[in-house]
Amino acid sequence: MAETLRFGRLPAATVHLCVDMQRLFGPGSAWAVPWIEQVRPAVATLVEARPQHTVFTRFIPPERLGAASGAWARYYAQWPEMLRERLDRTWLELLPELARHVPPARVVDKPVYSPWHDGRLHRWLRRAGITTLVITGGETDVCVLGTVMGAVDLGYRVVLVGDAVCSSTDQGHDAAMTLYRTRFSQQVETAPLGEVLDAWAAA
């Protein structure tokens, strides 16, 4: 299926939801996503075009292992250096070319893959009258997946910018993109950055 905005131009009630573009996943981190270097220029271009309509999510690990519940405790037992009691807090910051747009861009912190877990983001978007989400960031098959599926469940129009999402592996990225384009073809649109910018500018 072709990457395009099948359901028309982006309305004024659109927000760019940029997922976890942090130093935590950049070069030098134990959780580095190699592809982040390839997509960060595209993400920065979209943010710069609409900073006042951008919301960044940040993945925030627990302070210590005892604060991690259930399967998360097992997860962080494998990554103890990523607990906040050991982690240099600057690693939690957005990539610098994105951070400079806050404000007017907003930041929403989350302790899990999905930004919808506590309802804060959804309540703010609904109060603002937002109906459409343009999604970028990483990882395509982890936090982006959690973001997309929650947005679908909540009834948002979801537009994934195909050249502005990334994963640690080609296999995971390609599998997730295939899922978005086929199984969720009526609820998730994938489109390149240029088309998204053109459609949003004309809204």
Q: How confident is the model at residue 2 (pLDDT cuts 50, 70, 90)?
A: low
- pLDDT surpassing 70 at residue 28: yes
pLDDT at residue 56 in the model? 98
- pLDDT surpassing 60 at residue 130: yes
**pLDDT tens per residue, range 154-186:** 999 999 999 999 999 999 999 999 999 999 999
Q: Does residue 67 sit within a domain? A: no
- pLDDT surpassing 70 at residue 202: no
Kindly state the average pLDDT of the residues 64-76: 95
Q: What is the residue type of 96? A: P
CATH number at residue 172: 3.40.50.850
- pLDDT surpassing 90 at residue 189: yes
pLDDT at residue 31 in the model? 96
- pLDDT surpassing 80 at residue 1: no
Kindly state the average pLDDT of the residues 16-22: 98
Q: Does residue 74 sit within a domain? A: no
- With residue 123 as reference, give the H or E element that holds it: helix 120-127
Q: How far apart are CA 112 and CA 114, in angstroms?
A: 6
Share of the chain above pLDDT 70, in %: 98
Q: Does residue 9 sit within a domain? A: no
Provide the domain limits for residue 180: 14-62+91-201
Q: Does residue 104 sit within a domain? A: yes
- pLDDT surpassing 70 at residue 203: no
pLDDT at residue 105 in the model? 98
Residues whose CB falls within 8 Å of the CB of residue 52, separated by 6 or more in sequence, listed in order: 104, 105
Q: Does residue 136 sit within a domain? A: yes
Would you say 18 and 40 are in contact if contact means Cβ atoms under 8 Å apart?
no
Q: Give pTM, 2 decimals.
A: 0.96
Q: How far apart are CA 114 and CA 145, in angstroms?
A: 8
Q: Does residue 18 sit within a domain? A: yes
Kindly state the average pLDDT of the residues 109-132: 97
Mean pLDDT of the chain, nearest integer: 96
Q: Does residue 72 sit within a domain? A: no
- pLDDT surpassing 80 at residue 59: yes
- pLDDT surpassing 60 at residue 137: yes
Q: Does residue 143 sit within a domain? A: yes
Q: How far apart are CA 25 and CA 42, in angstroms?
A: 16
What is the token pair recorded at 188? 């998730």
Closest CA to 167 of 17, 4, 31, 15: 31
Structural domain count of the chain = 1
Kindly state the average pLDDT of the residues 20-28: 97
For residue 184, what is the DSSP state? Answer: T
Burial class (CB in 10 A: 0-12, 13-18, 19+), 147: buried
C-alpha torsion sign, points 107, 111, 116, 117: negative
Better-predicted residue by pLDDT, 2 or 48: 48
Q: What are phi and psi of 59, to 5 degrees?
A: -85, 120
